[in-house]
Structure 1
């Protein structure tokens, strides 16, 4: 598995003609820390959850970072059982990312195209989304439709849900 890099993310955004803005900051180990570095900037603070079920199917959920993940509700929505956080090795194997830096940009490295992607309606309603671009020393701001365009350009589809 290729390790997802900041340069890889930026090059793919340029290739797709996606405009973005960026804030450089010290390494952020938590969403709270990252949010502190971008205070005053407009954009939904997102978190990207990477989960698996008992059959080792992987799920990526993009949601507002202030919202609590409701595992039971997600199981009902997705029709799966025994959802839990993916292990660190799975995150690296499937996305080429380190835990804590999970974002849709890691999809570049998923050659099997076997991750199911869900976007929470609450974040979809926000026009600008923020993520770490494969490094936790930057926060990138993108139009929500451009994030969805990026996901589709990697060969994935997504489903909008209400968590």
Structure 2
């Protein structure tokens, strides 16, 4: 059974991590979530559940406006060939979330760790960052340093990449 939202919050609390959560109507896309800007402070993200041709799994967590070139991303994350989106079934079995609810908090369910978390440096170095707490009817604000602590506590040492530099540099 995947962790519930309450179990996620209890785990965060056990780590001494403070969060704030706002409930809202279901949000499925970055565009829909942008309607909440101003009501929820901090950086927001887009989250991509990906797999490579050999079945390696990746969760790319990037600032919502980051340009991600899926045709060349494999070169930056160490994937075997180009990446594609993982199936909804695989996402649900591994992260315990449905499409539209993809979140780095889902790694609480990836035990032992099977996927690689690729985290945008813009998020890793921000003050506050925001993600769905396993459901897309809420947004949880967490300090970036605490997100890193959470990821590490679940056995997921993130691969830090700068997507903004990649977007500005044609040779990456």
When normalised by structure 1's length, the TM-score is: 0.91
Describe the superposition over 1:74-109 as per-residue Cα deviations: whole angstroms up to 9, x where unpaired.
211123212011110110111111111111111111
1:103 is aligned to 2:103:
yes
Match of 1:54 in 2: 53
1:137 is aligned to 2:141:
no
* Cα separation, 1, equivalents of 2:130 and 2:158: 18
Conserved in 2, the CA contact under 8 Å of 1:4 and 1:97? Answer: no
After superposition, where does 1:43-122 map in structure 2 within 5 Å? 43-80=42-79, 81-122=81-122
Once superposed, which parts of structure 1, at least 4 consecutive aligned residues long, lie more than 3 Å away?
none
Instruction: Note closer, same or farther for the CA distance 1:5–1:31 as it changes in structure 2 (3 Å cut).
Output: farther
Residue 44 of structure 2: SS of its match in structure 1? Answer: strand
When normalised by structure 2's length, the TM-score is: 0.87
Match of 2:35 in 1: 36
**How many pairs align?**
162
Superposition CA RMSD, Å: 1.5
Instruction: Note closer, same or farther for the CA distance 1:25–1:66 as it changes in structure 2 (3 Å cut).
Output: same
Match of 1:14 in 2: 13
* Cα separation, 1, equivalents of 2:31 and 2:3: 23
Instruction: Note closer, same or farther for the CA distance 1:40–1:109 as it changes in structure 2 (3 Å cut).
Output: closer
**Bigger relative contact order, structure 1 or 2 (CA pairs below 8 A, ≥6 apart):** 1
In structure 2, stretches of 5+ residues that fail to align are 164-172
